[in-house]
Amino acid sequence: MLRSFLVLTLVFAMNLVNAQESAYVAGVVSNKSGNPKESVNIGVLGLPVGTSSAQDGSYKLAVPSDTDIVIVFSFIGFGSEKVQVNLAPGETYNFNQTLKVSSTQLQNVTVEDKQIRNSTLQRIDPKTIRIIPTATGGVEAIIKTLPGVSSNNELTSQYSVRGGNYDENLVYVNDILIYRPFLVRSGEQEGLSFINSDMVSSILFSAGGFDAKYGDKMSSVLDIRYRKPTELGGTVSMSLLGGAAHVEGVTKNYRLSYQLGLRHKTNQYLLNSLNTKGEYKPSFTDFQGLFTFSVNEDVEISFLGNYARNRYTFIPENRETKFGTLNEALQLKIYFDGQEVDAYETFQGALSTTIFPKPELKIKIIAAGFRTFESETYDIQGQYFLDELEKDIGKEDFGEAKLNRGIGTYLNHARNYLDATVYSLEQKGYFTKGIRYLQWGVKYQREQINDKLSEWTMIDSAGYSIPKSGDSVGYVNPSLQPVRLLEIQDVLKAKTSLNSNRLSGYLQNNWLWATKDSLEFSLTTGMRASYWDLNEQILFSPRLSFSVQPNWKSDFVFRAAFGFYQQAPFYRELRDLNGEVHTDVKAQESIHVIVGSDYNFRAWNRPFKLVTELYYKHMENLIPYEIDNVRIRYYAENNARGYATGIDLKVNGEFVKGIESWVSLSVMQTQEDIIDDYYYDYYNQEGEKIIVGYTADQTVTDSIRFEPGYIPRPTDQRVNFSLFFQDYLPKRPDIQMHLNLVYGSGLPFGPPSFQRYKDTLRIPAYRRVDIGFSARLLKEGKKVGPKNPLKHFKTIWLSLEVFNLLGINNTISYLWVSDVTNRQYAVPNFLTQRLLNLKLIVKF
């Protein structure tokens, strides 16, 4: 009933849109030298309508008629230009605009963006990517500092948003959906993110309540736009973690533009600081190209292609970890044999055709393909010694092993192979008439996935394998001797081939209006629909957002969003803990309710913004899962319900004049109820609860059944705080400091039993401080001699970064070992230590 009501409301609202006839503004945008400027943003202040100039600088924009409007021209590096007009219906106003180079030396802080303020999206300045000190770098490093986003692993680009997992985040580049690797289980193996930060021009991010045009996942959306260059240029960067090169340009007739990017990363330097010592040989390389060709004023063709080759080889040698408490100090030593060899090879490409049949209508057709070949192979034997340490500070052997608690061997084996292909054909439309902005899309997708999984673990915690192979003594016929099987654990054997088809579409409308007393309103309604022939499920997802800007002296915008977010399963969600694929798994459902405010204010005579959002997410048909490092293992059954609720706050602005910093704080709780789970507590004759390894009398005489009810989800990180702060020398603004501080409270964990109710422990809080010091050796526009080799460069930056400044041992996961009484111990797997990094960035 609720869904039917929302659908009817949506259809009714769309028919209330003002259908008055548009007027038009047209002309050419150029720089002060008279050269045409491509990709200049041209829009109407306060309205969700806009366009960009073509390669010859020309533009034509449909605008509301019979009302006062302000046309805004903006481009990175140039000052914004505005012109006010009031046009009659059907009138075309010819206006040529000349842009002037911005004279501001330091980064400008933009706090006014009406279209973004009316939605749950956040706009991020791509310039920040270059300066933020992190081990992985890239766009995702900035995303991790935003409210609602959490990550407790500096080696990965993955992140969790408002209680969701890594598979619940949408990532688009130029309207193309990006996929994450399937077999990767740790940040060490992950390699490069798809997004090449050298090519980025625009970053939008929403932590929930996003529009219908953005897809069906339950947590977040990251919308990336690559730049359309207007002149020849490029960058070269080098550091101890790898390097990158990028070149861009445009032909003389401005019809063909291109961007090419090559990146290579090796995190060997980082991995050598882990507590497992050995020979790390990571090598991650990718190449991207974006080509855009203007056939004429009305047709544009674009191709985005990517090839990534990732190799990870690891030959472990030994490990020593001290853990426990003052009263029980322990040490684990492991000596390894064997190696791990992983390979990931990915191809992704998309051909887009954009057509402008009329100035107010844009049609975009996208044909995309994704292909990945992945292999994960290892045979690693570990021989471990668990010792109790001397804790008496007065003894000479303080801190050394005094008693052996356990000794054993384990063997991990895997031969996992996967190849996946995804093809899609999509049509998107954009229509502007008056204050009406209509968007729609239809998409067909074909998926082909083949995998072969074989992995197991053998654990021998007593010094020999049980059952012990017998001999033939005493047997007249040795063939009659009983067969003794060697038991292994965590067996995963599967061979799967899946072929399926998906259909999806959306319709979305947006409009703004104002009352006589200057109240400004914005309303966006939308509907998504999808069908997957594998589980034969049809989904409808209505979404709505609303905002109001009161006529107050203080600059406030209040907004609310409501919507259904139904995430149909992909391959990972279908595979259970034993490797079996269940094709009857249905979509997970999440209902978002969000209210928030956006407040622009001034402090110390400088601009600031405070953004606050409160949210509640009700979830049904959840698929329970376990997380180990970055690997997610699903139960492949819709047998849970849950919720996530919290508050996000962010303050950004000029804490130091002329340069932006921000502070984010999130408080969140997410829990789930696995409907059919239960457990028994067992008691002996004395009424004592039997605990393996502790209770002397292990004979069961009684039991009590418990149903756990709501338990914390694996991503239940209650508090997250992040600070990105920048400063510079007062008389030397070319010498800057960048500080990135992150705190995240502990995540739930428990013994490796795949029984979620046992995850009652908490990993220690994730605490990390990274700091960078940058010096601009060459400033853009600085005049140098004709024979000076620096004349070919625009800017040169040299940075010194200190990762994990405080040297904190952060824990990512645990290795479980047993002593002679079969008591289990959780041995922490620590992340990277304090390291220095030197980075050089040259722009030409």
Reported as a pLDDT band with limits 50, 70 and 90, residue 479 is low
Between 297 and 540, the higher pLDDT residue? 540
Characterise 264 by phi-psi region: left (phi > 0), alpha (psi -120 to 50), beta (else). Answer: beta
pLDDT at 737: 96
175 or 790: whose pLDDT is higher?
175
Ordered by where they begin, the domains of the chain are 2-103 (2.60.40.1120), 121-468+485-676+708-843 (2.40.170.20)
Classify each residue of 4-28 as buried b or exposed e, where b means 16 or more C-beta atoms within 10 Å of its C-beta. Answer: eebeeebeeebeebeeeebbbbebb
Q: How confident is the model at residue 463 (pLDDT cuts 50, 70, 90)?
A: very low
* Token pair in block for residue 685: 């004759």
Predicted local confidence at residue 745, as pLDDT: 97
Tell me what the mean pLDDT of segment 315-341 comes to: 92
The predicted model gives 390-401 an average pLDDT of: 82
Q: Identify the band that residue 6 occupies on the pLDDT scale cut at 50, 70 and 90.
A: very low
Least confident of 33-37, 309-313, 477-481, 829-833: 477-481
Q: Which residue has the higher pLDDT, 786 or 720?
A: 720
**Tell me, what's the pLDDT at 471?**
55
Tell me what the pLDDT averaged over the chain comes to: 88
Query: Which of 343-352, 513-522, 615-624 has the least mean pLDDT?
Result: 513-522
Of 20 and 303, the one with more pLDDT: 303
Q: Is the pLDDT of residue 464 over 70?
A: no
- Mean pLDDT computed over 512-517: 76
pLDDT for 840: 95
pTM of the model: 0.87
Q: Comparing 439 with 326, which gets the higher pLDDT?
A: 439
Give the pLDDT score at 79. Answer: 67
Choice between 422 and 52, residue whose per-residue pLDDT is larger: 422
CA distances from 242 to 191, 263, 545, 838 (A): 11, 8, 43, 11
User: Per-residue DSSP letters for 187-232?
Assistant: HHHH---S--GGGEEEEEEESS---GGG-S-SSEEEEEEE---SS-
pLDDT tens per residue, range 707-757: 999 999 999 999 999 999 999 999 899 999 999 999 999 999 998 888 899
For residue 10, what pLDDT band results from cuts at 50, 70 and 90?
Answer: very low
What number is the average pLDDT over the span 631-644? 95
Q: Look at residue 108 in the predicted model and tell me its pLDDT.
A: 40
Question: Which tops the pLDDT comparison, 10 or 239?
Answer: 239
Closest among 554, 566, 655, 629 to 597, alpha carbons compared: 554
Q: Rounded mean pLDDT of 659-668?
A: 96
Q: What is the pLDDT of residue 241?
A: 93
**What is the per-residue pLDDT for 1?**
42
What pLDDT, in 10s, does the model give residues 12-56?
344 433 444 577 888 888 887 677 787 788 888 766 667 878 767
Whole-number pLDDT of residue 792: 78
Residue 631 has pLDDT above 60, yes or no: yes
Is the per-residue pLDDT at 693 higher than 80?
A: no
No. of helices (H) and no. of strands (E), the chain: 7, 46
pLDDT classification of 783: cutoffs 50, 70, 90: confident
C-alpha–C-alpha distance, residues 335 and 319, integer Å: 7
Higher pLDDT, 514 or 269: 269
Question: How far lies 766's CA from each of 567, 719, 812, 814, in Å?
Answer: 29, 11, 9, 14
Q: What is the rounded CA–CA span in Å between residue 813 and residue 828?
A: 6
Q: What is the mean pLDDT of residues 253-271?
A: 93
Banded model confidence at residue 102, pLDDT cuts 50, 70, 90: low
Q: What percent of the chain has pLDDT over 90?
A: 60
What per-residue confidence (pLDDT) applies to 486? 62
The per-residue pLDDT for 391 is 83
Kindly report the backbone phi and psi dihedral angles of residue 93, in degrees, each rounded to the nearest multiple of 5, phi listed first. -105, 120
Does residue 136 surpass a pLDDT of 80?
yes
Tell which wins on pLDDT, 130 or 502: 502
- pLDDT for 480 equals 60
Of 813, 659, 808, 801, which is closest to residue 742 (Cα–Cα)? 808
Average pLDDT over residues 237-242: 94
Report the DSSP pairing between strands 710-712 and 640-656.
unpaired
Is residue 645 very low, low, confident or very high in pLDDT (cuts 50, 70, 90)?
very high
Residue-wise pLDDT tens digits, 789-836: 777 788 999 999 999 999 999 999 999 888 877 788 899 999 999 999
The CA-atom distances, in angstroms, between 650 and each of 165, 610, 662 are 22, 6, 7
- pLDDT at position 476: 61
Phi and psi torsions of 90, nearest 5°: 80, -5
What's the pLDDT score for residue 489?
Answer: 79
